[in-house]
């Protein structure tokens, strides 16, 4: 029997799934994150002897064949595998009754910042070494970012909206924001939403090395990702996927679902400034935060924790700190802020979704994850970054920031129920 959604106008999170350098599954990742464990180490999946940066946050306990048909697992790009696995986790965790009647009202919106770099590099190698006949017919499907959502829908049998968003490092947050609106307006009862990325490969590492955006602390990789610290020298690449099951509030309540929290605010803006550098005064970030708070209908005093974008780059950390001060005023010095990138690196298009998950778990467990490697305070970054050790706290509202190349700014406000 077909069903028709009656949107309540409220959207909650009923399931989460995560693949991170700290472990496959949130059960592995979350306790290690709270313990301040570091997943950054020397790269093992490729020869990096000629690279300026030779370390990253690799995912080392993941087997695609645990989540996909063996044939698909062997040939699709890792970013797709991660996205499918995290989505399976989120769906299973939610307990959502997916069946013939509900499938047409459940969709997928899982984005990627850079898409299938691994397949792209391999197929380019085949072309130049063997000619055009050696290029796989699966080349195009497996490099385009929307194929994460496509394979999630195919694998899980989701017949609702299937779409994709690409806003660089803001992708995961924007995907959740877009999916939130899809459910809120009644185009779906539930959406699997988030981001996925796998850019630790020859092409991805070479590109970011050439851009001189990454840390080159090759003699001490565990201390390389150090957001807001005066001794930082660039971001550290990470990989993984974060997916949330967003569901209509009334539907979730009616079926007795467990609820991690509610999405209550989403703001997204453009710097209109530069293709890679953020606005020096954080102008677009300010508006994104203000808009998310306005949509949530709350004041800055009600935010109990900020998960910062906090990339460990000079421009981002100073700009984000300045933006928080402009939005929060004196309250900026009272609200705890942390960057979980200090432990897992920067997972690009997946980062916003993973950090939204960390916000939800922080509210659930009343504890704030730390910013590790914070040793030498930057006078321009003088807020409370929860240095090095997790902190117990009552958390009812969290704010999560994501900023991407192209001047994309995205902010989520999440509420504990």
Catalytic residues: 169, 309, 346
Closest CA to 394 of 334, 281, 304, 282: 304
Q: Which residues contact 384 (CB under 8 A, 6 or more apart)?
A: 333, 334, 335, 336, 337
- How far is the C-alpha of 92 from the C-alpha of 154, rounded, in Å? 16
Cα–Cα distances (Å) from 202 to 148, 193, 264, in that order, read 21, 28, 40
Closest CA to 190 of 412, 403, 15, 407: 15
Residues 284 and 344: beta-carbon distance below 8 Å: no
Per-residue b or e along 215-241, where b marks 16 or more CB atoms closer than 10 Å to that residue's CB: bebeeebebbbbbbbeebebbbbbbbb
Residues 118 and 77: beta-carbon distance below 8 Å: yes
Helices and strands in the chain: count of H runs, count of E runs: 13, 15
What token pair was written down for 211? 């851009």
Q: At what angle do helices 26-34 and 351-365 cross, to 10 degrees?
A: 70
State the residue for tokens 């609200």.
Answer: 335
Other Cβ atoms less than 10 A from the Cβ of 329: the count is 11
Residues 1 and 11: beta-carbon distance below 8 Å: no
- How far is the C-alpha of 344 from the C-alpha of 18, rounded, in Å? 12
Q: At what angle do helices 314-328 and 283-296 cross, to 10 degrees?
A: 40
Per-residue b or e along 24-62, where b marks 16 or more CB atoms closer than 10 Å to that residue's CB: bbbeebbebbbebbbbbeebeebebeebbbbbbbbbeeb
Q: Which residues contact 300 (CB under 8 A, 6 or more apart)?
A: 293, 327, 328, 329, 331, 335
């Amino acid at each position: 029997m077909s069903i028709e959604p009656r949107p309540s106008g409220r959207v909650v999170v009923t399931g989460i799934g995560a693949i991170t350098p700290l472990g496959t599954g949130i059960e592995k990742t979350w306790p290690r994150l709270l313990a301040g464990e570091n997943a950054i180490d020397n790269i093992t999946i490729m020869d990096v002897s000629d690279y300026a940066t030779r370390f990253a946050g690799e995912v080392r306990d993941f087997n695609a064949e645990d989540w996909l048909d063996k044939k698909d697992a062997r040939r699709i790009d890792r970013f797709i595998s991660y996205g499918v696995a995290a989505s399976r986790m989120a769906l299973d965790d939610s307990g959502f009754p997916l069946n013939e009647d509900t499938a047409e009202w459940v969709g997928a919106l899982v984005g990627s910042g850079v898409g299938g770099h691994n397949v792209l590099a391999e197929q380019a190698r085949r072309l130049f070494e063997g000619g055009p006949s050696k290029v796989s017919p699966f080349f195009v499907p497996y490099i385009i970012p929307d194929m994460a959502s496509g394979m999630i829908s195919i694998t899980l049998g989701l017949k609702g909206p299937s779409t994709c968003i690409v806003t660089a490092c803001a992708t995961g947050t924007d995907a959740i924001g877009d999916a939130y609106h899809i459910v809120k307006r009644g185009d779906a009862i539930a959406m699997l939403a988030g981001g996925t990325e796998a850019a630790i490969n020859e092409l991805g590492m070479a590109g970011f090395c050439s851009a001189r955006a990454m840390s080159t602390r090759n003699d001490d990789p565990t201390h390389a990702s150090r957001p807001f610290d005066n001794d930082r020298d660039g971001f550290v690449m990470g990989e993984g996927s974060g997916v949330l099951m967003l569901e209509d509030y009334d539907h979730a309540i009616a079926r007795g679902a467990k609820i991690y929290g509610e999405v209550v605010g989403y703001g997204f803006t453009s710097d209109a400034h530069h293709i890679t550098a953020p606005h020096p005064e954080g102008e677009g970030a300010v508006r994104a935060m203000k808009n998310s708070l306005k949509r949530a209908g709350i004041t800055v005093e009600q935010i109990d924790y900020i998960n910062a974008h906090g990339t460990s780059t000079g421009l981002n950390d100073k700009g984000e700190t300045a933006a928080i001060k402009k939005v929060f005023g004196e309250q900026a010095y009272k609200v705890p802020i942390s960057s979980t990138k200090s432990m897992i690196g920067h997972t690009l298009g997946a980062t916003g979704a993973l950090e939204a998950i960390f916000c939800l778990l922080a509210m659930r467990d009343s504890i704030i994850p730390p910013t590790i490697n914070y040793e030498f305070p930057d006078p321009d970054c003088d807020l409370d970054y929860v240095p090095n050790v997790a902190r117990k706290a009552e958390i009812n509202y969290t704010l999560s920031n994501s900023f991407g190349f192209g001047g994309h700014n995205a902010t989520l406000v999440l509420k504990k129920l």
